[in-house]
Chain A
Amino acid sequence: MRYIDHAAVVKRMNSRMIVNKLFKTIFFLATLFALLALGILFYRIISQGVGYLSLDFLLNFGSRFPEKAGIKAALVGSLWMMAVVAPVSLILGVGSAIYLEEYAKKSKLNDFIRMNIANLAGVPSVVFGLLGLTIFVRALALGNSILAAGFTMSLLILPVIIVASQESIRAVPNELREASYGMGATKWQTIAKVVLPSAIPGILTGGILALSRAIGETAPLVVIGIPVIIQFLPNNLLSQFTAMPMQIFDWAKRPQEEFQYVASAGIIVLMIFLLLMNSIAVIIRNKFQKRY
């Protein structure tokens, strides 16, 4: 007696294999869509902007005339803003992560802090702009200065840095901590001399990626009223300034076609910046990350 009709199975198997193959191809093509989008985007921006990219473009201030427009004020302004965002967000982010991973006991309050960080990560950046406008620009009377923008951006990327730091602190094996306690070290000594040094590559990688988000973020800057036409370089933290995304936003909005090319050139400069920061992050990750 035959339980299995071999011919029928083979016949059905063939069609199933064809469907399998077909969908594999469809899925692959769908995956290529992302690749294609990225390719077109890069091609468009480079082909449009590269003609306007020159030393003059880097050294000129903004201008009404596209051929004279430059990104100097915005480039320097972005760097000044990063000089505020980097230390503020890293100190706050790493401090919070150490507290949550090493000190926080299981309590309602600490659970609330954790949940709150997750929620904060989902708040749109434009809402952070409203916070910055009310608290830093108006209530603390910082005006639309580097400091106000820097603080706003720091709070915006804080959840990302906290989560990245928590993960790298958690990845430090407990044996290292126990060995340190065994040698008579106190809790803080263990954290400062054992846990942090081995977690620092991960923290830096996450931190740099978060900073590269802050450098490209536009909406909060628009809301706190960062001006675009700036014909001077900032000289202290309370100076007015402009930033690269703001400048690109302004150029992109202008009706003259030439400004599209100027905007593309600005985007190239911004993307080179991001690329550099990301490469540094990757190098740190590959070079210093220890595996236990």
Chain B
Amino acid sequence: MALNEQTAKMSVQEMIAKQKGKKGKFWVEKSIPIILFLIASISVLTTFGIVFTLIFETFEFFKRVPFLDYLLGTEWLPFSNNEPLYGILPLIAGTLKVTLIAVVVAVPFGLASAVYLSEFANDKTRRVIKPVLEVLAGIPTIVYGFFALTFVTPLLQQFIPGLKIFNALSPGIVVGIMILPMIASLSEDAMTSVPKSIREGALALGATKLEVAMKVVLPAALSGIMASIVLAISRAIGETMIVSLAGGSTPRFDGDLTGSIQTMTAYIVQVSTGDAGYGTTIYYSIYAVGFTLFLFTLLMNWLAHAISKRFREEY
């Protein structure tokens, strides 16, 4: 009772003053932002961790292999007993072959889907197709790899007689299917954000929907579309499991698409599943390859960022 009377007699100002005096709350308010800042800096630490591990171990690699031999060498034979050769170009060639095929598949289909979804489709169709694209984007890459090896390769072999079991074509096509949803949905976002008034202006002048899409919407959304393609390329370069399963493990510096290849990512996987001991040159070579891969994707991501920043149309 006494407590109640006391509270009743206390004015609001006094209550606030009393609350303010509490030490505990003060400490919570002060320390939470610091704790949260530390948590947020873990993502920065992760980046530093990636960059520093790659640099340190790559440095170790270049103590054993001359830098120019790595950069300009056209033969990658790390498992050779008498004279191992570490020239990165064959691995880069493998990666570029797969990426190129993927782009050839994904860009036309992705852009066509984006135009259809944003300019032609009615709500009902959109409600069916968009979840399909989402599902396609959510399928694990190991499943795509299995699909490439056991379905796409045998299918292609029926049309292309000389095609080997491991080749660049089949993983390239499947990587293309994998990055297709990314191009489609990001480009569609870019096109949808073009204001309706611009479309209506063109329609009122008598343009058909196709003309509006091609001559008005596409140019206006170009920066977003280009950025989506570059991001998708970056994803294709870093793709690992599809090329490991269906691409083979023969690093070759040529333009052949029907024979076995090896990409940068597939080499890292090959060494990781093998029994190269800690501290060997082969062990350090995966960091050098990883670092090269990292630089490639970083460049692509910056390019995408620069494109969308530089050529953005403001409405």
Contacts and interface: CB of A to CB of B under 8 A. Distances in A.
A99 B311 CA distance: 31
A33 B42 CA distance: 41
A118 to B, nearest CB: 7
B245 interface: yes
Interface in A91-105: 91-92, 95-96, 98-100, 103-104
Given A41-B143, A213-B138, A222-B269, A184 B33 contact: no
Given A113-B41, A252-B146, A270-B140, A126 B268 contact: yes
B140 A249 contact: no
A122 B234 CA distance: 8
A134 B57 CA distance: 9
Residue of A16, A41, A124 most packed against chain B (CB within 10 A): A124
Contact of B143 (A187, A188, A271): A271
Contact of B210 (A24, A104, A224): A24
Interface residues of A, number: 83
Interface string B156-194: 000000000000000000000100110010000000000
Interface stretch (A63-71, A155-163, A195-203, A233-241): A155-163
A212 B141 contact: no
Interface in B262-313: 265, 268-269, 272-273, 278, 286-287, 290, 293-294, 297-298, 300-301, 305
A127 interface: yes
A138 B138 CA distance: 31
B104 interface: no
A283 to B, nearest CB: 14
A30 B149 contact: no
Interface string A187-216: 110000000000000000000010011011
Interface in A107-132: 112-113, 116-120, 122-131
A23 interface: yes
A6 interface: no
B102 interface: no
Given A130-B287, A223-B268, A124 B293 contact: yes
Given A96-B39, A127-B293, A222-B273, A119 B120 contact: no
Interface in B21-41: 25, 28-29, 32-33, 35-37, 39-41
A127 B50 contact: yes
Nearest to B149: A252
Interface residues of B, number: 83
Contact of A245 (B41, B44, B140, B147): B140
A27 B187 CA distance: 14
Contacts of B257: none
Contacts of A27: 112-113, 115-116, 120
Nearest to B108: A30
B65 interface: no
A116 B133 contact: no
B129 interface: yes
Interface string B117-152: 100110000000100110110111111111101110
B273 A116 contact: no
B141 A44 contact: no
B29 A28 contact: no
19 contacts: A19-B210, A27-B112, A31-B129, A34-B133, A35-B132, A37-B136, A96-B43, A116-B43, A119-B47, A123-B297, A124-B293, A126-B265, A158-B42, A158-B46, A188-B32, A218-B241, A219-B240, A223-B268, A249-B245
Given A131-B49, A252-B149, A271-B139, 8 more contacts: A20-B208, A31-B116, A92-B42, A99-B36, A162-B43, A218-B240, A248-B142, A263-B146
